[in-house]
Every structure is written in structure tokens, then in C-alpha cells.
Amino acid sequence: MPNSMDECIYFTRRAFDNNGKAIAWVKKKPCPKCAKASMGKPLDPKTKRPKIRADTYECPECHFSEPKQEHEESLTVEVIYTCPFCGHKGDATTPYKRVSWDGVKAYVFICEACKKKIGLTKKMKSGKSKGGSEDDDDE
């Protein structure tokens, strides 16, 4: 679990139906060149804040730069969850890439106990069927 939001590229807490819940985050990756700092979005020279729609990630120490798509493909989402289907408490990891789940883009992981897919969607989005995917053997 991260100690600060400054360590994360992505962080969310979600509640599901049937007392299910999840906390998920993606930690910043250390610079592959100097390993002194974590890669992040480049800073705007005027405001000294990260550029929101930047297409690269940059090391603040050595200014090594990496394309956004290449950088994000190497990251993983870490999840601590309570399964909304069986109540199992556990943790999981999944690639930092949204895939289609119940007709909505989501980070999808599988419960260790019941093997059902659970999706972390963008805020306020819900899938076509309440409670998750019924077809667990598709992919």
C-alpha cells in the first residue's frame, strides 16, 4: 500500500454491491537510467505542476524521457479487495490497461477464491449486467 499519493500514478477506492470493495493503485516506476527518482509526467515550466495530457513520462533528476504508451504498458495495478460474489478478502495484480468488461472499459482482475472477474471502471460507470460478468470462460 502506498504511503502517499505522490508515489502513485493511479489510485482509487471502490465499493461494489453485496459489501464488496476494492482499493487499487499503480506505483510510479523508478527511472531505468539513473534509478534516483521515480518517472512522472513532465513539469510545466511556468506552473511547476505536471502536464495533464503529456505524451511522455520523464525522470525529474536526469530528464530521461519515455513515451507514454511504452511506459504505461510496463506498469501493473495492485488491488486489495473483498469479492462481491463470495466475500473472499485478497489481493491481485493486473496490467495497467483498461479492457472491455460488461460493455465498459475497466481494469479487470480475477477473485482467487471463486474465479469470477471483477472490474474497476471509471467513476460512475456501471456494466450492462449488475454485479459483474456471468461468462467467466470467454477469455
In whole angstroms, give the CA distance from residue 127 to residue 33: 41
Task: Domain count for the chain, please give it.
Answer: 2
Instruction: Tell me the pLDDT tens digit for each residue of 66-76.
Output: 999 999 899 99
139 belongs to a structural domain: no
Model pTM greater than 0.75?
A: yes
Confidence at 138, pLDDT banded by 50, 70, 90: very low
Q: 17 and 36: one domain?
A: no
The answer to whether position 22 is within a domain reads yes
For residue 54, what are the domain limits? 31-74
